[in-house]
Structure 1
């Protein structure tokens, strides 16, 4: 049985989306949005808690996917796969912080919905 969870928020005039599935064994998450959604990184944590991340050259999405994978694994102790592709053009340092805060809020909401 799969439990599907969708979350959305708006940031700088663009949508940021999270789609998650609670699988029979594991949690699968896609984080996408901004001005150009894409696949930038994938992070996987197995039963032993070891994380593996693949990030495409020139991308910084692993910062988000790795963090989400670790947090979800720490809460649920089951395999987690997080795919991330979020892009905004020419952000200032404070705007980057806004993206991080928005993603953290969405992660908190997801954890609460999965419990």
Structure 2
């Protein structure tokens, strides 16, 4: 992972209170950073069972689910442009806002 991406993800994590949902977590490396080594309540969700299986092996301290994001019971937050969620959950849309400015730039 590029150092600037790591710093960006850590800053999102540190600026977010409460539970975090990593929407489209893929293989889980960003979910792990968001979890602060298991110190934060983070759930990673991805539609790919293969990605989630790999993430569970690599990051056993993180909650990971296979699910269709469209089916999750979440709605837009009026107060936060960069998240969707319920009152007790903030969704980090990190995978579309990497430090490089383009989706997929994070390594």
TM over 0.5: no
Greater radius of gyration (CA)? 1
Scaled by the length of structure 1, the TM-score of the pair is 0.29
Q: Which has the higher strand share?
A: 1
